Amino acid sequence: MKVLLINGSPNEKGCTYTALNEVAETLRKNDVEAEILWLGKKPMQDCIACFQCQTKGECVFHDLVNETSARMDEFDALIVGSPVYYGGPNGRLTSFLDRLMFSTPNAKLTGKLAASVVTCRRGGATAAFERLNMYFTMLNMHIVSSQYWNQVHGYTPDDVKKDIEGLQTMRTLGQNMAYLLKAQKAAAEAGVEKPVLEQTICTDFIR
């Protein structure tokens, strides 16, 4: 069992990393592998709605998005982390996720466990948290919860380490994620079949 934790902050070892690392350490203590992927500081290409990924099976822009998509079968769960800028997740992460989620074949994502983590100095955490969870609910991914919304507060990593409730929320998330991964594995070994989903029907508001 392996979890990919995506650090969407431009700061490699900042507040977002501090929160994600707390989750990762808890996963490892529960015999679940955890890998933290930092998106770096280079410009991140937005989705241009060319739809070529729907026939090619990958994004036309060859960067970290395609590298991550190609590895998605390695992971049983996904956790994304973002700092809060102007009441929402940062642009680098949303540009990455827009392309990753749209270009990755649904079969690689459906049924995986998922969670989001946000860090902020003061406000906007819940709005950012809700925005990130939207990705998962469109793709039949199963959101893992904690004892509170997955947020920590602080302007620096040292501040975050003083947020004892926030860090406990991260550890609880890790515990719940590990438990549900083991439950999924046990269900598969017991022969419990995954849901058989209907063909997706797409409509708009005029018909």
Q: What is the CATH number of the domain that holds 7?
A: 3.40.50.360
Asked if the structure places residue 18 within a domain, the reply is: yes
pTM, whole model, 2 decimals?
Answer: 0.95
Q: How many domains does the chain have?
A: 1
Q: What is the pLDDT of residues 51-104, one digit of tens each?
A: 999 999 999 999 999 999 999 999 999 999 999 999 999 999 999 999 999 999
Average pLDDT for residues 20-28, to the nearest whole number?
98
Asked if the structure places residue 50 within a domain, the reply is: yes
Asked if the structure places residue 170 within a domain, the reply is: yes
Asked if the structure places residue 205 within a domain, the reply is: no
Asked if the structure places residue 24 within a domain, the reply is: yes
Q: Per-residue pLDDT for 206 more than 90? A: no
* SS (HEC) of the chain: CEEEEEECCCCCCCHHHHHHHHHHHHHHHCCCEEEEEECCCCCCCCCCCCCCHHHHCCCCCCCHHHHHHHCHHHCCEEEEEEEEECCEECHHHHHHHHHHHHHCCHHHCCCCEEEEEEEECCCCHHHHHHHHHHHHHCCCCEECCCCCCCEEECCCHHHHHHCHHHHHHHHHHHHHHHHHHHHHHHHHHCCCCCCCCCCCCCCCCCC
Asked if the structure places residue 203 within a domain, the reply is: no
